[in-house]
């Protein structure tokens, strides 16, 4: 059963359940809502659905704080709804990937409630407890969500580690019992018929030995855990153990979310011999537009240059070829919308053209493409202008820390940065039609809608044969039918190395060659690429082909 690589030509669609479709009029998306949209997903043609966490959770971090791994969050539905969803997918030939959040639990998880009771509680060692240092935290680490990574618990006079919110205590993976409980839980879901896992921050589970202080600059309140914790000393040992105990027993697909990995790291996590994971989400292309001031991390308003993007994507294509497998993505529930970030949403024409151009860029690469809900209709960033519109704790905490506490930015600048990079940009409700609440709900949604839902929505996209939707549908079909997209060799087109407007690459196997030509800009340029007379235009986002003249955001692919 192992090593079948059945997923190699599959396309994954990510659903953020709270924002996809509400079925019972409470303003929150739910499982019944997803079930009602399965025919839509089938029409798009995707093979696998990845659901963000749907487990019981106090929702401090929208479900990434889990209080029961084997129960469904009642706001989203019941276990019967879950089974109906799984069956509905399987009947349509689609598979289901669940989010696995096991770096940490909720502070309301029974393990943690026990753990904090006393130093000799049997669950004490399920988490990472330490004495303070002279009334201070055990070390100088900061959390991913601002503030310290330690919280003092007066009950037992010790601190516990939380790399994310204080309500998300980190599990102690050094404890074999923790690992066993996690593996048992995974097997329980696999036995129910779940087809795989997306593993939340899975390369953070092994912490550096001794939890040492990290380097800290004068303008930083804490040491940056992003540089200290990823890819810890025992992470590969843990993942191999997980693979032996879980993955090797089922026909599943796994993708690890792994901040701070290089291609060399990714080859260890996702080597094709499959002793750990099938692939990882790396973040290098997501960080190309980060602020040059490290104290500001992702908060910035610069657009990624084509040179940086091409170099980076090419590096991953070339270095992983034949050894490991790429996860291809532009956005997810933590990232802004691709068309607003890498494309151009300033006019309707450019929005549609640039959305298709960017889709072409990744969908012709080697790896597994992930489409984030709404990407297939070219949904844009939220366009929020007030701090009060943002609900995500990362955004709110960052504003508080950078503007009010550290005075590193003024409020208007930070609002501009939030409009570009807040996670809320991805979490506005799915835009189904131009009715009140965009067909997402009959009730005020839990998160504000993007203001443009009357123009940009599924009903409109389905009615327009030129829409972004039908372009994605075609891209997916091509991946299913043209093996060169899955297996062919990737290379930059001749002379493309330093082109500042055009990105051009080839894919090649014994029978077929593809030439992908993409204009990353709003300028019309002239470039000559030699293609045989027999070459046919496979797909394009313009109605005609003008040869060497390449128009704004034009994308075209030749096959020969």
Our finding on whether 15 is near ligand GLC (CB under 6 A) is no
Residue 509 and residue 511: Cα distance in Å, rounded?
6
Q: Which residues contact 303 (CB under 8 A, 6 or more apart)?
A: 289, 341, 342
The interface partner of residue 28, options being ligand GLC, Ca ion, none and the CB cut-off 5 to 8 Å by kind, is: Ca ion
The residue of the chain with the least Cβ separation from Ca ion equals: 30
Residue 273 and residue 411: Cα distance in Å, rounded?
50
Helices 176-192 + 235-245 axis angle, to 10: 40
The residue of the chain with the least Cβ separation from ligand GLC equals: 64
Strand, coil or helix: what is 70? strand
Name which of 73 and 172 has its Cβ closer to Ca ion. Answer: 73
By CB under 6 A, the count of residues binding ligand GLC is: 9
What minimum distance in Å lies between the beta carbon of 422 and ligand GLC? Answer: 12
What minimum distance in Å lies between the beta carbon of 396 and ligand GLC? Answer: 13
Tracing tokens 């599990």 back to the chain, one arrives at 171
What minimum distance in Å lies between the beta carbon of 144 and ligand GLC? Answer: 7
Cα dist from 225 to 105, 129, 142, 144, 191, whole Å: 18, 17, 6, 7, 36
Name which of 173 and 553 has its Cβ closer to ligand GLC. Answer: 173
Name which of 310 and 427 has its Cβ closer to Ca ion. Answer: 427
Concatenating the DSSP letter of every residue in 316-369 gives HHHHHTTTB-BEE-S--TTS--HHHHTS--SSHHHHHHHHHHHHHHHHTSSSEE
Residues numbered 16 to 45 that lie near ligand GLC (CB under 6 A) are: none
Name which of 64 and 129 has its Cβ closer to ligand GLC. Answer: 64
Task: Tell me the HSE value of 285 on the side-chain side, using a 13 A CA sphere.
Answer: 24
Q: Which two tokens stand for residue 100?
A: 């696995």
Among the listed residues 22, 167, 200, 392, the single catalytic one is: 200
Would you tell me how many other CB atoms lie within 10 Å of the CB of residue 321?
A: 15
Each residue 148-177 as x (binds ligand GLC by CB under 6 A) or -, in order, gives ----------------x-------------
The interface partner of residue 344, options being ligand GLC, Ca ion, none and the CB cut-off 5 to 8 Å by kind, is: none
The interface partner of residue 99, options being ligand GLC, Ca ion, none and the CB cut-off 5 to 8 Å by kind, is: none
Binding Ca ion (rule: CB under 5 A), the pick from 9, 24, 413, 512 is: 24
Our finding on whether 334 is near ligand GLC (CB under 6 A) is yes
Query: Angle at CA 227, nearest 5°, toward 392 and 198?
Result: 55
Does residue 289 have an active-site annotation?
no
Binding ligand GLC (rule: CB under 6 A), the pick from 64, 82, 173, 299 is: 64
The interface partner of residue 424, options being ligand GLC, Ca ion, none and the CB cut-off 5 to 8 Å by kind, is: none
Residue 457 and residue 191: Cα distance in Å, rounded?
37
Query: Angle at CA 357, nearest 5°, toward 306 and 501?
Result: 30
Residue 412 and residue 209: Cα distance in Å, rounded?
42
**Interface with Ca ion by CB under 5 A: which range of 22-30, 90-98, 210-218, 423-431?**
22-30
Binding ligand GLC (rule: CB under 6 A), the pick from 12, 101, 478, 515 is: 101
Strand residue runs (E) in 352-469: 368-372
**Interface with Ca ion by CB under 5 A: which range of 6-14, 20-28, 78-86, 513-521?**
20-28
The interface partner of residue 30, options being Ca ion, ligand GLC, none and the CB cut-off 5 to 8 Å by kind, is: Ca ion
Concatenating the DSSP letter of every residue in 456-512 gives SSHHHHHH-TTSHHHHHHHHHHHHHH-HHHHHSEEEEPTT-TT-SSEEEEEEE-SS-
What minimum distance in Å lies between the beta carbon of 232 and Ca ion? Answer: 39
Name which of 27 and 166 has its Cβ closer to Ca ion. Answer: 27
Residues 516 and 559 sit within 8 Å (Cβ to Cβ): no
Residues numbered 25 to 54 that lie near Ca ion (CB under 5 A) are: 26, 28, 30
Would you tell me how many other CB atoms lie within 10 Å of the CB of residue 417?
A: 21
Indicate the burial class of 363 (C-beta count within 10 angstroms; 0-12, 13-18, 19 or more): buried
Does residue 200 have an active-site annotation?
yes
What minimum distance in Å lies between the beta carbon of 222 and ligand GLC? Answer: 17
Name which of 206 and 521 has its Cβ closer to ligand GLC. Answer: 206
Which residue, among 8, 3, 105, 94, has the nearest Cα to 46 in the 3D structure?
A: 94
Our finding on whether 15 is near Ca ion (CB under 5 A) is no
Name which of 334 and 376 has its Cβ closer to ligand GLC. Answer: 334
Q: Are strands 536-540 and 555-559 parallel, antiparallel or unpaired?
A: antiparallel
Our finding on whether 61 is near ligand GLC (CB under 6 A) is yes
Among the listed residues 195, 257, 394, 424, the single catalytic one is: 257
Query: Angle at CA 94, nearest 5°, toward 96 and 328?
Result: 70
The interface partner of residue 61, options being ligand GLC, Ca ion, none and the CB cut-off 5 to 8 Å by kind, is: ligand GLC
Our finding on whether 201 is near ligand GLC (CB under 6 A) is yes
Name which of 32 and 303 has its Cβ closer to Ca ion. Answer: 32
Binding ligand GLC (rule: CB under 6 A), the pick from 200, 265, 289, 344 is: 200
Q: Is the C-alpha dihedral spanning 156, 162, 168, 173 positive or negative?
A: negative
Concatenating the DSSP letter of every residue in 173-225 gives TTSHHHHHHHHHHHHHHHHHT--EEEETTGGGSSPPTT-------TT-SSEEH
Residues 229 and 208 sit within 8 Å (Cβ to Cβ): yes
Our finding on whether 446 is near ligand GLC (CB under 6 A) is no
Name which of 164 and 372 has its Cβ closer to ligand GLC. Answer: 164
The interface partner of residue 487, options being ligand GLC, Ca ion, none and the CB cut-off 5 to 8 Å by kind, is: none
Name which of 88 and 214 has its Cβ closer to Ca ion. Answer: 88
Query: Angle at CA 311, nearest 5°, toward 283 and 48?
Result: 45
The interface partner of residue 26, options being Ca ion, ligand GLC, none and the CB cut-off 5 to 8 Å by kind, is: Ca ion
The interface partner of residue 64, options being ligand GLC, Ca ion, none and the CB cut-off 5 to 8 Å by kind, is: ligand GLC
Residues numbered 226 to 285 that lie near ligand GLC (CB under 6 A) are: 257
Catalogue the active-site residues: 200, 257
Where does this chain bind ligand GLC (CB under 6 A)? 61, 64, 101, 164, 200-201, 257, 333-334
Where does this chain bind Ca ion (CB under 5 A)? 22, 24, 26, 28, 30
């Amino acid at each position: 059963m192992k090593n079948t690589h059945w997923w190699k030509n599959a396309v994954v669609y990510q659903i953020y359940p709270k924002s996809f479709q509400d079925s019972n009029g409470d303003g929150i998306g739910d499982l019944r809502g997803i079930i009602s949209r399965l025919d839509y997903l089938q029409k798009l043609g995707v093979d696998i659905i990845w659901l963000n966490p749907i487990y019981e959770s106090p929702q401090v971090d929208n479900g990434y704080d889990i209080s029961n791994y084997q129960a469904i969050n009642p706001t989203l539905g019941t276990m019967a709804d879950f089974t109906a969803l799984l069956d509905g997918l399987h009947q349509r030939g689609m598979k289901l990937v669940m989010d696995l959040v096991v770096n940490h639990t909720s502070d309301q998880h029974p393990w943690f409630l026990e753990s904090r009771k006393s130093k000799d509680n049997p669950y004490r060692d399920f988490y990472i407890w330490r004495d303070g240092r002279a009334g201070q935290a055990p070390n100088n680490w900061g959390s991913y969500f601002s503030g310290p990574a330690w919280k003092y618990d007066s009950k037992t006079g010790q601190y516990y580690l939380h790399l994310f919110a204080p309500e998300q205590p980190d599990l102690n993976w050094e404890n074999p019992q923790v690992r066993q409980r996690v593996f048992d839980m995974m097997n329980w879901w696999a036995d129910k018929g779940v087809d795989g896992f997306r593993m939340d921050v899975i390369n953070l589970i092994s912490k550096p030995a001794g939890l040492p202080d990290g380097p800290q600059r004068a303008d930083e309140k804490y040491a940056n855990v992003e540089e200290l914790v990823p890819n810890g000393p025992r992470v590969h040992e843990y993942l191999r153990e997980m693979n032996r105990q879980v993955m090797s027993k089922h026909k599943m697909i796994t993708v690890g979310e792994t901040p701070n990995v290089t291609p060399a790291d990714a080859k260890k996590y996702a080597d094709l011999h499959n002793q750990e994971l099938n692939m990882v989400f790396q973040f290098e292309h997501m960080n190309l537009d980060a602020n040059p001031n490290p104290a500001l991390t992702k908060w910035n308003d610069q657009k990624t240059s084509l040179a940086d993007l091409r170099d980076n994507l090419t590096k991953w294509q070339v270095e992983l070829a034949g050894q490991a497998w790429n996860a291809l993505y532009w956005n997810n529930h933590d990232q802004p919308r691709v068309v607003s970030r890498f494309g151009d949403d300033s006019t309707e024409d450019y929005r549609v053209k640039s959305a298709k151009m960017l889709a072409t860029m990744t969908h012709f690469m080697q790896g597994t493409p992930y489409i984030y809900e709404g990407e297939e209709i070219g949904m844009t960033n939220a366009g929020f202008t007030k701090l009060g519109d943002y609900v995500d704790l990362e955004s709110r905490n960052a504003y508080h820390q950078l503007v009010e506490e550290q005075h590193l930015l003024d409020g208007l600048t930070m609002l501009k940065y939030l409009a570009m990079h807040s996670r809320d940009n991805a979490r506005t409700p799915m835009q189904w039609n131009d009715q009140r609440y965009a067909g997402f709900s009959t009730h005020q949604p839990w998160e504000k809608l993007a203001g443009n839902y009357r123009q940009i929505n599924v009903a409109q996209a389905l009615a327009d044969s030129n829409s972004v939707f039908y372009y994605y549908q075609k891209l997916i079909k091509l991946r299913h039918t043209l093996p060169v997209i899955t297996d062919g060799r990737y290379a930059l087109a001749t002379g493309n190395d330093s082109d500042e407007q055009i990105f051009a690459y080839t894919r090649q196997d014994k029978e077929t060659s593809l030439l992908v030509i993409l204009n990353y800009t709003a300028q019309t340029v002239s470039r000559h690429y030699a293609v045989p007379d027999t070459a046919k235009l496979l797909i394009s986002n313009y109605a005609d082909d003008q040869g060497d003249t390449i128009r704004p955001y034009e994308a075209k692919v030749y096959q020969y």
